[in-house]
Amino acid sequence: MTASDRPSNASLVLLASLYCAQGLPSGLVAHSLPVLLRQSGVDLALIGLLKLLALPWLLKVLWAPWIDRIGSRRLGHHRGWILPLQALVIGCLVGLALIEPQALFGSAFWLLLGTLLLINLAAASQDVATDGLAVRLLPERWRGLGNSLQVGGYKVGMLASGSGLLLVIGGLGWSLSIGLLAVALLLLTLPIWLFPEKRLLPQHHEQAEPAGPGLLWRHYKGLLAQPGMFAWLAVVLTFKLGDALGSPMIKPMLVDQGWSTAALGQLTLISSLAGIGGALLGGLLYARIGALRSLLTFGALQALGIAGMALLVGRGADTALVYAIALFEQIADGMSTVALFAVMMRMCRPEHEGADFTLQASAQLLLAGLVGAWSGLLATWVGYEGLFVAAALLGLTMLVFVTGYWRCLRQIQAA
């Protein structure tokens, strides 16, 4: 491996900053708002609806091929998308900071959901451009490093807007805390603003399909025509389904057991750091044990972590137990995510990486978002304990699709 093969430190910082910027909206929705809404007396069913805000991450598959085609000649292909999209997110955060939380969590609740939906739309579109930029910047042998930056950077962003916000909002208040998120995103925009894309990446490789009304169909028809692709999509759709069902109700359960905002912020901070470590560990183990065993092992650990949450029902005062299970769950989540993303990268066709990865990522969110939206109602019907047990069983059941895909792959290779 020559030194010239390694991407520059500036390129690594650039990619890390972009993936971190994507995590800021997700941390706000997944970690901070469920706590703040529950403390304001918002019903569990409405809290569960926050999962529907992930729809742009699913639907971005509809416009991803055009993001690969259309770009700004003045700013550069990828910068022409990323800069205005991140500016839009910054503007939305500033708007939320100017509205009183009592109104946002009450009469203006639907305005809050609409603004968050717009933020997720911009962040999801930025992700397509960022994935395309990462593919061009990273040689094949460094794609694993890119995947670590994706998972780690995203989790750092979630940590800042999740635990970070919960830790400071009590002292700083809603407006200043959300304003700080906007400032953080502005700082994360500086690397892409300074990136000389037109000089380093002067040409954008045109893919086989010409731009036009039929681009979407032509592009994904070629992807789905690959042998075994439908079997693999079954894995992508279901691999993290149990996690999607159980994880949205972890913090509302702890709130109901008396955990304060500061205590939850500290728990989220420490467990998120453990998740980043899990992602790095998962990447190292993946290289040693291979794709199949990684998916099976890490997926089983993921299900075990969600099952462990059932032990916390009625035992929220046992802080040591809460931390032990929460840390294990986050480590397993990081490991399983790395394994899934690594195999997703393997399934991308040359010169189609951005949109191909987008289709798989959108498929992964398809059932996860819908199932997660029902988590609050299911918790109301069967209780937190029943919810976590059901989520764990669902996670274990879906591992059948992993073995089914590898069986299909062996048959294709033998033919």
Cα 294 from chain centre: 19
- Residue 73: other Cβ atoms inside 10 A: 8
Residue 3 lies in a domain: no
| Residues 237 and 364 sit within 8 Å (Cβ to Cβ) | yes
Q: Convert the chain into a string of H (helix), E (strand) and C (coil).
A: CCHHHCCCHHHHHHHHHHHHHHHHHHHHHHHHHHHHHHHCCCCHHHHHHHHHHHHHHHHHHHCHHHHHHCCECCCECCHHHHHHHHHHHHHHHHHHHCCCHHHHCCCCHHHHHHHHHHHHHHHHHHHHHHHHHHHHHCCHHHHHHHHHHHHHHHHHHHHHHHHHHHHHHHHHHHHHHHHHHHHHHHHHHHHHHHCCHHHHCCCCCCCCCCCCCCHHHHHHHHHHCCCCHHHHHHHHHHCCHHHHHHHHHHHHHHHHCCCCHHHHHHHHHHHHHHHHHHHHHHHHHHHHHHHHHHHHHHHHHHHHHHHHHHHHCCCCCCHHHHHHHHHHHHHHHHHHHHHHHHHHHHCCCCCCHHHHHHHHHHHHHHHHHHHHHCHHHHHHHHHHHHHHHHHHHHHHHCHHHHHHHHHHHHHHHHC
Residue 274 lies in a domain: yes
Q: What pLDDT sits at residue 1?
A: 40
Q: Rounded mean pLDDT of the chain? A: 84
Residue 136 lies in a domain: yes
Residue 377 lies in a domain: yes
33: left (phi over 0), alpha (psi -120 to 50) or beta: alpha
For the chain, residues with pLDDT lower than 50 are: 1-4, 206-208
Q: In the 8-state DSSP scheme, what is residue 30? A: I
Cα 356 from chain centre: 17
Total domains in the chain come to: 1
Residue 206 lies in a domain: no
Range of the domain at 143: 9-201+213-414
Tokens of 274: 């453990």
Q: What CATH number has the domain bearing residue 20? A: 1.20.1250.20
Q: Up-side HSE of residue 29: CA atoms within 13 Å toward CB?
A: 28
Residue 4 lies in a domain: no
Q: What pLDDT sits at residue 3?
A: 45
Residue 83 lies in a domain: yes
Residue 208 lies in a domain: no
The 10s digit of each residue's pLDDT in 205-230 is: 544 455 666 778 888 888 888 888 88
